[in-house]
Structure 1
Amino acid sequence: MKCPFCNAPSTQVTDTRENDEGDIIRRRRRCGECDKRFTTYERIELKLPQIVKKNGSRTEFDREKVLASMKLALRKRPVTAESVDLAIERIESRLLALGEREVPSDKVGEAVMRELKRLDKIAYIRFASVYRNFEDTEEFAEVLRELAPHAKQAIAKPRTRKS
């Protein structure tokens, strides 16, 4: 593999490790020319389904786009990068398990919301407020009630006046 620092044509593997599930191999490499070290990851490449957007257009599943959306929702939240990577892997696994060639984009959005709900409630609310495009405060309050179903009147439902 070529060195990302000096573009030397070959590098030496100094350490190889598998993750716990055995589906990713991490390799530490060293360049013989500039002596810098870097890490590469080897993972199984599976064909994820195409994503069908709301306007009918189709696109490839983009892990980086999902990661960017999650990072934005998780900004300044105490969640590790490893937790986010595992969440994205679960999303990809769910998409693969569907066994479909095409998946509506809202299934991906719902999967992201499910993972954010597991990781951090504030990030979940941030993402939901944009993803679901709330029309009024009652829709927002409904998401908050959903997060605190056992709390007594976490957010009181609006009272209607009798005329």
Structure 2
Amino acid sequence: MKCPYCGSDNNRVIDSRPADDNTSIRRRRHCDDCNKRFTTYEKVETIPLIVIKKDRGREQYDRTKIEKGILAACYKRPVSAMQITKMINEIERDIFSREEKEIESSLIGEIVMDKLRNVDQVAYVRFASVYREFKDANTFMNELKKMINEK
């Protein structure tokens, strides 16, 4: 690890602790050449994941797409940033624990909806209306009835 201040690789770890909901390690380091301290983060390297879209096209997995969808669904809802981060981390854990190189976008959508349903029902319906492409009010009502009957 090179020091960001002087470029030396003569440094040592002075503190390590879990970060990001135990998905990475935060390390405080001390450069022995310039005596400055800096922080690094260590994450497990995952296999590249390819998402199979509805149109059968393929693209590399992008966490920010899930973040944007969840943030839009939770807009002006009583869902904290910590809850959203935790939910996204759980979704990623579910996706990557399958140890597959490709995953259908529909499966990712179902996982997201399942997590949202448990956090905020309005956010769930918002996400479902876009994800499932609700065409009219009847489709919307049918989804609401299903949700009410599950209680």
Asked if Structure 1 and Structure 2 have the same fold, meaning a TM-score greater than 0.5 normalized by the shorter chain, the answer is yes
8 Å CA contact 1:48, 1:95 repeated in 2: no
**What is the TM-score of this pair, normalised by structure 2?**
0.75
- Cα offset, 1:88, TM superposition: 1.6
Q: Give 5+ residue unaligned stretches, structure 1.
A: 152-163
Q: Give 5+ residue unaligned stretches, structure 2.
A: none
RMSD, aligned CA: 3.1
The aligned length equals 144
- Cα offset, 1:109, TM superposition: 1.1
For residues 104-159 of structure 1, the C-alpha deviation after alignment (integer angstroms, 9 at most, x for no partner) is: 111111111111111211111111111111122221112111222267xxxxxxxx
**Highest CA radius of gyration, 1 or 2?**
1
**What is the TM-score of this pair, normalised by structure 1?**
0.71
* Identity fraction in percent: 37
- Give the counterpart letter for 2:105 in structure 1: S
Q: How does 1:9-158 map to 2 (within 5 A)?
A: 9=6, 16-19=16-19, 22-27=22-27, 41-149=41-149
Structure 1 pair 122–95 and aligned structure 2 pair: CA distance change class (3 A): same
8 Å CA contact 2:113, 2:124 repeated in 1: yes
- Give the counterpart letter for 2:77 in structure 1: R
The structure, 1 or 2, with the larger RCO (C-alpha pairs under 8 Å, 6+ apart) is 2
8 Å CA contact 1:24, 1:43 repeated in 2: yes
- Give the counterpart letter for 1:87 in structure 2: M
